[in-house]
Structure 1
Amino acid sequence: MKEERIRPTKGKVLIAEPFLGDKNFERSVVLLCEYNNLGAFGLVLNQLTNLKLDDVIENIYAELPLYLGGPVEQNTLHFIHRLGDEIEGSVELGNGIYWSGDFEQVKTLINISKISENDIRLFVGYSGWGAGQLEGELMQDSWIVSDIDAGLIFETPSNNFWREVLKRMGGQYKVLSNYPTDPRLN
């Protein structure tokens, strides 16, 4: 009997198969923030950049790291957090994860030290799929769809994130988490 696959929906993650072959998404975990018949919008959770928030936004007095949300429109800033209704206009994704909200309010809370690196993740750019594109990639087994919670996102170091997400899924995924980056070197 074939295993029932989790369907992609807002708040789920896409975990790149180790043999994906796309440098933009190698060993990536993408949080789906929007998913409908027009396509999908997500943010890569584990591609840390060398930039800090105060490098790209004026009047910020904290050096919060910036992540590369994906290859699309890398001149845009996006964020997820686990502060819920403390940030006006936030969109609940489930499992304690929220997307977007009033950025002026976020800046103020950052500057008065009411938001820390363990509460928010900021991204330049995003990942996007047109209508039917993600479904095609899923049919080619390019992605594993899974649940995720805020604790895992905000408390797991990005350099071990892909592996840790798979390990926590257990079974065949735990084995897959040890798949070498280059199998020829195994």
Structure 2
Amino acid sequence: MERLRGRLLVATPAIEGGPFLRSVVYVLDHDEDGALGVIVNHPLDADVDDVLPAWGSLVNAPVCLFDGGPVAMDSALAVGVLNAPEATPAGWRPMAGRVGLVDLAGPLPDDGQLVGMRVFAGYAGWSAGQLESEIEEGSWVVVDAEEGDLLSPQPEELWRHVLRRQEDDLRLWATLPADPNVN
């Protein structure tokens, strides 16, 4: 299977509950050992300022923590987007294009190094072959990420927005009601 780093996983209606219900996952890493990503459309009620006060000014609106996934929910993971590829902050770990991990234990990035950043509580992880099986069984569709997806100012609308921009029948899923019983 092709490598999915830098692409989006969009939950299909086959996922009927749990942390991945109507989720959009940005894939940070994917190889023969498994995959790692963060759910980019599930903001939490906790502000970054309350948990990491020094970092709040670097986070894009909404300035809150995001539920990154069900793995290691007691840890924080910061994902940033570089302003320019040559402007890498100390502790930067590149992932895909201008997207990378920001070391929260390191110094704050200089002004202008990042277009923006999100802080995630936990992450989504798959062991070798697990994600490929879930895609095959129809739980996920893989689509290209666009520049604004990771830092969307309206993350709650991202699932529908990503589906609407597809050129095939996937667009129709964007019209599914939150509760199919009300259809």
What TM-score, normalized by structure 2, do the two folds share? 0.84
Give SS of 2:26's match. Answer: strand
Shift of 1:9: 1.4
Q: 1:16 aligns with which of 8, 11, 20?
A: 11
More strand by share: 2
Q: 1:26 aligns with which of 17, 21, 24?
A: 21
Name the SS for the 2:16 alignment partner: coil
TM-superposition CA deviations, 1:12-53 (whole Å, max 9, x none) = 111000231231100000011111111111100000001111
Give the equivalent residue in structure 2 for 1:71: 70
* Match runs of 1:150-169 below 5 Å: 150-169=147-166
Give 1:179 deviation, angstroms.
1.5
Identity %: 29
Q: Does 1:149 align with 2:152?
A: no
Once superposed, which parts of structure 1, at least 4 consecutive aligned residues long, lie more than 6 Å away? none
Which runs of 5 or more residues in structure 1 are unaligned?
Answer: 1-5
1:36 matches 2:31: yes
Unaligned 5+ runs, structure 2: none
1:86 is paired with a residue whose SS is: coil
Number of aligned residue pairs: give it. 174
The aligned counterpart of 2:126 is: 129
1:180 partnered with 2:177: yes
Q: TM-score, normalised by structure 1?
A: 0.82
- The letter for the 1-side match of 2:36 is F
Which residue in the other structure is 1:80 paired with?
79
Residue in 1 that maps onto 2:101:
100
Instruction: Return the alpha-carbon distance in structure 1 between the equivalents of residues 54 and 102 of structure 2.
Output: 19
Match of 1:90 in 2: 93
